[in-house]
Structure 1
Amino acid sequence: MKKFDIRNIRIRKVNVDELDDRMLLINLYVTQALTFIIGFIWILFQHQNFLELFAFPATFHFAAWGLLFAGGVILVDLLISRWVPEEAADDGGVNERIFGNRPIWHIGLLSLVVAICEELLFRGAIQHAIGPYWTSIIFAAIHVRYLRHWIPTGLVFSISYGLGWIYIQSGSIWAPIIAHFVIDFVMGLIIRFRRES
């Protein structure tokens, strides 16, 4: 039996075009799992109650916050895509690869996983520590694929700040989770069906 030698591990930058579909999905799910774990641990260190954080409020006004914000973001994004050249909003083809050939149920699952994991970390943990402004800078910075162009970077920062704002206004983490899910799901469907047509 061959022994494992850690010195044989090589790390290199990989272009999204070099990944097959399976590896792209594994990468996405692993990064979301790490995001969830980091957020969960951070929340524990902040002495927040995890179950309280995810408790549903007595009224459903948080859903209205999330849906209205998502509707506004989708409208702005559609207007931007109509008048801004495609190369100015290019993400390197990542979103096309993720959503382009996916069944609708899988687009929904991906959107839900991303919404819960990222909102747990960014709104539940980081925003609790440093506020919505600095959280949004970090959120925009980790979306590396958008940093080449100022329009998507500004849009990601603004969306993150808006998610933080509706979290504060609604008093529930479910408002940004709903908004994040709806934004990703609708934009994923647009990418998928635009490709089909």
Structure 2
Amino acid sequence: MARTPARNTPSSPKAGAARNQLRIIAGEWRSRKLTFPDVPGLRPTTDRVRETLFNWLSSWVPGSRCLDAFSGSGALGFEALSRGAEWATFIDNAQVVTRQLQANLTLLNCRQAEVQQAQTQDWLQQPASRQFDLVFLDPPFQRQLLEPAAQALEQQGWLADTAMIYVEHEQELQPQLPASWQLHRQKQAGQVIYSLYHRQTGGSDSPTL
């Protein structure tokens, strides 16, 4: 999940590791609560936004291969897995975050996922080792990470032909995204814009959502 700029000096990761919780909304792990560490600015996508997003994606998630590209709490990736996603890859650059993501996967007895500790933009610059049907792209705000990540996803071959891409960003940003990404749904929650794009590479039918 994206990280907003921190306003105060954070407490140590050890002190805050168990303070924050997110709730899985639906699916196999419905109502399960997971902890996430106290990292500066880490903010899970709200329950209301997640519910709207997964209503949009209700027919698309089952059996999908998902990438939670700036994971943070992992709220979107865990929600997708709970609702029947076949696989999820979580990426975050903070060790305290990736350790908690792995701990939560172990807690849920989930083996259909991997956690990568890396800078997302560097990880995406590799030639694709797999293709994803569903991508959650929610980078830290105010750091100009969204457009480079979107371009790397497209150029390095990480996306399935008809992939769905969720994008979350600050209201004032007007990102330039790949031409093959067609806007499917968009809403605003406070100062946050959240959108769902459908990748269309030519000749493919839109999914029923």
TM-score by length of 1: 0.28
Q: Which has the higher contact order (CA 8 A, sep 6+)?
A: 1
Give the structure with the higher percent strand: 2
Bigger-Rg structure (1/2): 1
Give the structure with the higher percent helix: 1
